Structure formats: C-alpha cells, structure tokens
Chains A and B, each alone.
Chain A
Amino acid sequence: MLVFRLTTHSSVPAYVQIVQQVRQALLAGVLRPGDRLPTVKDVVSELAINPNTVLKAYRELEQEGLVEGRQGVGTFALRRPDGPPPAAQAALTRSLERWIGKAREAGFDDAGMESLLRTCLMSSADEAIA
C-alpha cells in the first residue's frame, strides 16, 4: 500500500505533493496498473489532512488519465505516466554532474547552485510564457 508524506512548510500545495508522489510511485513501479490507491479516509486518518485535499489530488490524477475512480470501490492506478525516457535521464544526470563540478571549482556552494538553478528555471519559464 502506498503511503504518502507531506511537508507543510513547503510552497508546494498539499494536493500537488500527493499528485507528485502518485506519479513518482507509478514511474518507479511501486504502484502498478490495477493497484488500488489508499482510500480518502485512509489518507486523511494517516496524515490528519483535509479530505478535499485528497479528493482534489485524485481528481487531477484522473484527469491526467493515470488513475480511475470506480464508484463505491475505490481509486485504481491505470498506467505509467509519460516520463522522460531512462536514457535521456542518464545523459542529463552526467552533464549535470559535470556542471556541478565546474560550479564547485568556481566557488559555488550548494545553496548558490540551487539559487542559480532556480533563477534559470524561472527565466526560462518566463520565456515560455512570453
């Protein structure tokens, strides 16, 4: 059975955290097509969170076609999300490791690198909108 965890001091809303964890579990194969997701009541009892938060997350997953709610039975996993192919991920990891090496040499610490990455992500998101 899938067990969720939540960080409250995060700018990521609770329902998005659940969506991401289901997606991650499907990608990793922890959750397979046909498996039942925990019921809303189970998740609420476990995490002491609002039932509507869980419902909202499951609705979003349903809209993405990753899970299916069956009336009176529960919510079931349907398919793996279309993630990046494993080969692409490996290649990107290697180039990122090289980049981190260079950043360290240039005197960046972890926090400096994170903030640099965030800035670049934000400006590329802006470009995508503009």
Chain B
Amino acid sequence: MTAWAKPAATEPAAGNQHLAVATSGLGKQYTRGLRARSKWALRDCTLEVPEGRICGLVGANGAGKTTLLRLLVGLARPSAGDVQVLGQRPSDSGQFLREVGYLAQDIPTFRRWSVTDHLRMGAALNPSWDAVATRERIQSLDIPLDQRVGTLSGGQRAQVALALALGKRPRLLLLDEPVAALDPLARRDFLSTLGAAVAEAEGHLTVILSSHLVADLERICDHLIVLANSRTMLAADLDDVIASHRVLTSTRRDVGPIDRQHTVLRVEQTQRQTRMWVRLEGPLTDPTWDSDELSLEEIVLSYLEYHPPADADRGPGITNVAHLGGVS
C-alpha cells in the first residue's frame, strides 16, 4: 500500500458575501528557549469563513487549531501573513473585543463563585450585555443560579461558560474543544444551545468550533476547516466538501490520469485492485471507475493521515511539509 497526497487548496467563498474571518498566508512561529529551533505552529493558512456559519475546525493534536483560534482573537500575534476578523485586525481594543467571544479549552470559571456572580461579572464587563436572554438560557437548562460553579456538573459548567460567552452578544464566537470532556447528552445539549443562539441571531453570529468529534461537527456545522501538519488542508462549505470527495475503485491500473485532473488524497494498491480517495476538481469523466461517496469522517481521516511522498517534488501543488513540526 502506498499513501500520498497533495495539500489542498482552499475554496474562496462565493460572491460578495460578508466574511467573518479572512486569513492570507497566516503563520505563527514559536521559539522555545534561546537556542531552540523555532517551529511553525501554523503556516501558510489562507481561508475564509462567511458570516453566519458554524464552522468546524478539525485536526490532530498539535495541528495548529488552538494557535489559529488565538490568532483570530488577538491573543497571539502573527509571525507571517494577514488576518482580518469582522473586517478588523485582531487587537486588544475594546471595540474589537466587544464583538468577539472566546471560550478557551479548559472552560475557565471561578469555582467558588455562584452562577449569579458570573452573570454579574458578565454584566459589569460587557457594555452590550444581554441580561434577560442570558438568565433565561441558564434557567431553561434547570441550572440553579445560586449554586457555586465548582459544584456543577461538567455539562452545566460548560453551559454556564457558553451562556457567558453568548451574553455579550458577540458577532464571532470561538470555541476551543468545548465538548471534549462532556458525556453525549451534555454534548447534545451544549450544541443545541449553540445552534439555537445562531438561529436567533439570523445570520449575525458566526461560530468557529474546534473538536475531534466529527459526527457532532457533521450535524452542527455548515463549514469546515481541516488542519494537518500546521497547514490548511481544507476550508469550504460542508455540502461542497461532501459533494466533491469520492472513493474510486477499479481493477488495478495507473492512477496518473486521475491524478492529473483531480487531487488524490490516498491510494491503496493491491495485486488486483486500485482504490483512491479523491477530491474531484471537476466532473469525473472516466465512467470505468466505480465511484462512491465518502462519509465526512473518512474525508477528514484521509486528510489527517496524509503523509508526504519521499520525493516531495512529485508534481505541481505538492509542498514539502516533512520538515514541519507541530506546536500546540
């Protein structure tokens, strides 16, 4: 079996849609210690997320997901390239931070504070605070307002943190693996709350949500970013992602003709059979291949399992990523 692939190009959003996020050649390099070699945590990241989308962000650990989110919210400064969030460059200005919500991976809350204390803090810190909706959101989940947050269940704590993030009425909400530690029921409740908030905002709230749980993302997201080896492999509408990926099977034959027209993500050759995971770059003109749809899980895995070929100059579009290390 051989496996190789070209890194993917990203598909620009159609027409003159408003973009919540637009990056171009964005990169972040970290140096660890004085003599340590610097490493790219994120590299050549060019992507667009139209306004109103719920965008899933997937990638192996260390692929650059947290780095990307931190760059978007202004907690990290780019080492290369450009990033625009809601038409502005991320900064610590009050005007920018009012419009962007960020929920870090460990779901920071004050354990000894009650839920009400947190709501009071949210109201004091955010001029656009939506006190009524936030209180209703928490009460509809039967979370007691006077309870200390440290004694709530993981799911309830995540819901309180989400309600706080939504309470400031952001136009962009960045969530770093918010459901990773939750049981299936708590996960569904969290995603329901998130989806309902996006529905209520009627196109004025964009969410970027990193997660390893592809099945969750498939339901809740309509846009997808896949990062691997610190690079963007895919950034497109979910419907287009599903429609443009196929597994092609036939009796053993040369993969060249397909490779020249489309992007081959992975090839499996046995003595008798050839099977390819392909991103179609146009209509599949050769009817002799048996063409099947791929599940989102299979598509994501085929990008994450990508290993660059030994000879990195195999053809156009192939970039050598062998020297890159992941930093999270």
B199 touches A41 (CB 8 A): yes
Question: Among the listed A6, A11, A14, A40, which residue makes an inter-chain contact with B199, where contact means beta carbons less than 8 Å apart?
Answer: A40
Known A6-B219, A13-B242, A41-B200; contact A50-B295, beta-carbon cutoff 8 A? no
CB-CB < 8 A to B188: which residues of A? 48
A81 CB–B CB distance under 8 Å: no
Report the number of A-B residue pairs with Cβ-Cβ less than 8 Å: 51
Secondary structure class of chain B's binding surface, majority of residues: helix
Which stretch from B5-13, B98-106, B161-169, B190-198 is at the chain A interface? B190-198
Partner pick for B192 among A13, A44, A53, CB 8 A cutoff: A44
- CB-CB under 8 A from B196, the residues of chain A are 41, 44-45
A41→B192 CA distance, assembly (Å):
9
Contact B191 A48 (CB under 8 A): yes
Does A33 belong to the interface (CB within 8 Å)?
A: no
Q: Smallest CB-CB separation from B292: which chain A residue?
A: A11
- Tell whether A8 is near chain B: CB-to-CB under 8 Å: yes
**Cβ–Cβ < 8 Å partners of B215 in chain A:** 8
State how many angstroms separate the Cβ of B205 from the closest Cβ of chain A. Answer: 10
| Known A13-B239, A41-B196, A41-B199; contact A48-B220, beta-carbon cutoff 8 A | yes
Q: Is A51 touching B192 in the complex (CB atoms < 8 A)?
A: no
Q: Are A47 and B219 in contact (CB under 8 A)?
A: yes
User: Quick one: which of A21-80 are within 8 Å of B by CB?
Assistant: 40-41, 44-54
Residue of A nearest to B242 (CB): A13
Cα distance, A73 to B221, chains bound together (Å): 26
- Please give the residue numbers on chain B whose beta carbons come within 8 Å of chain A beta carbons, in ascending order: 52-54, 188-189, 191-193, 195-196, 198-200, 215-216, 218-222, 239, 242, 293, 295
